Homo-oligomer: A and B are copies of this chain.
Amino acid sequence: MQVSIEQYMQMVGQNAREASRFLAGASTFEKNNALSAIYTALVNNESQILAANQIDMTQGREKNLDSALLDRLELTPTRFKGMLQGLKDVIALIDPIGEITDLAYRPSGIQIGKMRVPLGVVGMIYESRPNVTLEAASLAIKSGNAIILRGGSEALQSNKAIAAAIQHGLKTAGVPENAVQVVNTADRAAVGQLITMSEYVDVIVPRGGKGLIERITHEATIPVIKHLDGNCHVFVEAQADLHKALPIALNAKTHRYGVCNAMETLLVDAKVAEEFLPRIAELYAEKQVELRGCLEVQRILGSAVKPASEEDWYEEYLGPILAVKVVSGIDEAILHINKYGSHHTDSIITENFTLARKFLTRVDSSSVMVNASTRFADGFEYGLGAEIGISTDKIHARGPVGLEGLTSQKWIVLGDGQIRQ
């Protein structure tokens, strides 16, 4: 029997919704037991999974995929071990579900509190990294959610093999296999269905390029935990301790280039620009970082810097390029960050207590820092245990999102016969 993409996705959605009811009621023991069974199934099926990945790799090479994509696609025995370690880490995480907080009496005599509960069904859309399949599935199970996985078509064989092992593990542990489903088609229409099946899917988590995420956000009728760009700033304030400012400015730009929490624009207070800029420029020169500066930066650094255009202040370079601007003080710095930044992560370097407090309050970003490198904006560094993603939204979850991002809270009311007067 031929089924349409729509019919197929509706079935996937219904299956997920049913499985989510089981998972929502599952105990921590049951969920960890299922994750352990998945671990065993993956170990037992390593050769099949790596073989399936080789099919994807061969097809990818035939299609002339670029080398970066092929690199993300490849599963080596070492990477497979890393995936298994990640699964162990998730088993070790504290189960967030069922936690009751803020239980307090009200004048009516009832007790009111909040209980943490799963969202229900997660729709995960990602590019061709097969390791995400296991990571997302294990986080969903741990937080009591069913998950529908839609990976890049280039990784379909790998994802199907990983999902087969996961489902085998679930079955062994007595958990409905439909708790984890891989969308079994490369047809793009499946994504359109997934992001609009609001009766079956509670949240969409996309991972991938900005284009993909913008398209999903625009078309989705389901809430999206989305991460767009990271145009992060470090502001070296007039009372900065340069022994802190220099290593932080260097670290924030050069620790890793292709990451969303790397600094893309450096702001320097005019009062310290003459002293600070030549010293940091020397450090950047060693790392071959290209500088693009405002007129004042150009005056101070001369030919070591290129002119910055208006577009540079908006740019997420994700590479060894940095925009640099001299500002008249904290007010101009905050205005600049709130206007040109992407509300991701911004840091002030200062010894002044009042200005640090002002910066923390006024900068409208998901992470605001004092005397620390923007590179710390990360679920693991923040102690979340695992990272679902980094949200640039304000609703539901902001900044690094841990397991809690896949949960919600319901109210509980305990009484002994109270009625409303």
A binding-site residues for B, Cβ under 8 Å: 21, 24-25, 98, 104, 106, 108, 110, 112, 115, 117, 119-120, 202-203, 218, 221, 223, 241, 243-244, 247-248, 250-252, 255, 338, 347, 360-362, 364-373, 375-377, 381-383, 393-396, 398-400, 408-420
Q: Compute how far the CA of A110 lies from the CA of B413 in the bound complex, rounded to whole angstroms.
A: 38
Minimum CB–CB distance from A124 to chain B (whole Å) comes to 16
Minimum CB–CB distance from A264 to chain B (whole Å) comes to 16
B369, A415: Cβ atoms closer than 8 Å: yes
A416 is contacted by which of B221, B367, B371 (Cβ under 8 Å)? B371
Not counting A120-B364, A251-B419, A372-B417, a sample of 18 additional A-B residue pairs whose C-beta atoms are within 8 angstroms of each other reads A24-B362, A25-B361, A108-B381, A117-B364, A117-B394, A218-B221, A223-B223, A248-B417, A248-B418, A364-B410, A368-B412, A369-B413, A369-B415, A370-B412, A371-B418, A372-B414, A395-B395, A395-B408
Minimum CB–CB distance from A145 to chain B (whole Å) comes to 11
Chain B contacts for A370, CB-based, 8 A: 412-415
A371, B414: Cβ atoms closer than 8 Å: yes
Which 7 pairs show the lowest CB-CB distances between chains A and B? A372-B415, A244-B417, A251-B419, A375-B420, A369-B413, A394-B408, A223-B395
Chain B contacts for A420, CB-based, 8 A: 251, 255, 373, 375-376, 381
A110 is contacted by which of B243, B376, B409 (Cβ under 8 Å)? B376
Q: Compute how far the CA of A399 lies from the CA of B112 in the bound complex, rounded to whole angstroms.
A: 12
A108 is contacted by which of B117, B247, B376 (Cβ under 8 Å)? B376
Q: Compute how far the CA of A282 lies from the CA of B383 in the bound complex, rounded to whole angstroms.
A: 58
> How many copies, total?
2
A367, B411: Cβ atoms closer than 8 Å: yes
Minimum CB–CB distance from A23 to chain B (whole Å) comes to 12
Minimum CB–CB distance from A415 to chain B (whole Å) comes to 3
A409, B419: Cβ atoms closer than 8 Å: no
A418 is contacted by which of B104, B373, B398 (Cβ under 8 Å)? B373
B395, A411: Cβ atoms closer than 8 Å: no
Chain B contacts for A371, CB-based, 8 A: 414-418
